């Protein structure tokens, strides 16, 4: 996963997953323009293993995270950026892109593909549907919760096709510390969806477990 080389950043003329657009509009009589990107809605799943008392998360290399750091450090003339700078810790997630399948069914399939756990559809609990990437896309994100056990593990996970995903188990106490410790000087490689999911668990689920 971390053998990254020959990185080049160029302008995207025609995207497969994203489409840049320009919005013209009037607000209170004033003409305005706004640049946006059109891309798919997504599903996220907070997964907690009741046997190990751990969150089941994924790690993967995110080219956009890596490239942004490359661009920001280009003027520093520093050595090659280590690939670990682009590896992020995330909730199990995926695009909602399968015709005829509900969002919950997308969640079930992502859980199996990415983490190897086979969860009954009835055990996948809705958390919230909310707007994401509000400044550039305004997509619809849906978050679910799934409790799993060791017996639910059917394979190693890791994603499908060209995905390179590592499955990681992080104990509740460690995860709580990661998201709640104050820090405004060093960026951590996880996003607000992960924080939201963990905070929701601490508010709504933690009392159900001996943690």
* Cβ 167 vs Cβ 158: under 8 Å: yes
H helix count then E strand count, the chain: 4, 9
What pLDDT score was predicted for residue 13?
A: 81
What's the maximum distance between 2 C-alpha atoms anywhere in the chain? 61
Q: Which residue in 49, 6, 21 sits closest to 169, CA to CA?
A: 49
Q: Which residue has the tokens 């199990």?
A: 92
Regarding the domain with residue range 41-126+139-206, which homologous superfamily does it belong to in the CATH classification?
Nucleoside Triphosphate Pyrophosphohydrolase (3.90.79.10)
pTM (predicted TM-score): 0.92
Name 27's Cβ contacts closer than 8 Å, sequence gap at least 6.
none
Query: What is the chain's pLDDT, residue by residue, as a tens digit (211 residues)?
Result: 667 778 888 888 888 889 999 999 999 999 999 999 999 999 999 999 999 999 999 999 999 999 999 888 876 655 678 899 999 999 999 999 999 999 999 999 999 999 999 999 999 999 999 999 999 999 999 999 999 999 999 999 888 777 789 999 999 999 999 999 998 888 889 999 999 999 999 999 999 999 8
* Cβ 165 vs Cβ 58: under 8 Å: yes
Between CA 23 and CA 107 the distance in angstroms is 32
Tell me the domain boundaries of the chain: 41-126+139-206
Name 20's Cβ contacts closer than 8 Å, sequence gap at least 6.
12, 35, 36, 37, 38
Q: What is the DSSP letter of 203?
A: H
Q: Which residue in 174, 151, 64, 60 sits closest to 110, CA to CA?
A: 60
What pLDDT score was predicted for residue 2?
A: 66
In whole angstroms, how far apart are CA 198 and each of 19, 39, 60, 175, 187? Answer: 31, 26, 19, 8, 18
């Amino acid at each position: 996963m971390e053998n990254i080389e020959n990185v080049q950043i160029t302008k995207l003329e025609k995207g497969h997953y994203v489409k840049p657009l320009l919005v013209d509009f009037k607000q209170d009589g004033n003409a305005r323009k706004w640049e946006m990107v059109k891309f798919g809605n997504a599903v996220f799943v907070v997964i907690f293993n009741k046997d190990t008392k751990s969150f089941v998360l994924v790690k993967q290399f995110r080219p956009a995270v890596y490239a942004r750091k490359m661009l920001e450090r280009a003027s520093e003339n520093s050595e090659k950026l280590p690939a670990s700078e682009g590896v992020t810790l995330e909730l199990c997630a995926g695009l909602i892109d399968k015709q005829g399948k509900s969002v919950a069914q997308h969640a079930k399939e992502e859980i199996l593909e990415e983490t190897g756990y086979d969860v009954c559809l009835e055990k996948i609990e809705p958390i919230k549907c909310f707007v994401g990437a509000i400044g550039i896309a305004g997509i619809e994100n849906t978050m679910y919760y799934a409790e799993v056990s060791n017996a639910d593990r059917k394979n190693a996970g890791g994603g499908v096709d060209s995905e390179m995903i590592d499955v990681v188990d992080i104990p509740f106490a460690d995860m709580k510390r990661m998201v709640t410790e104050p820090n405004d000087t060093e960026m951590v490689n996880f996003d607000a969806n992960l924080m939201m999911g963990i905070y929701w668990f601490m508010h709504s689920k933690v009392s159900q477990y001996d943690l």
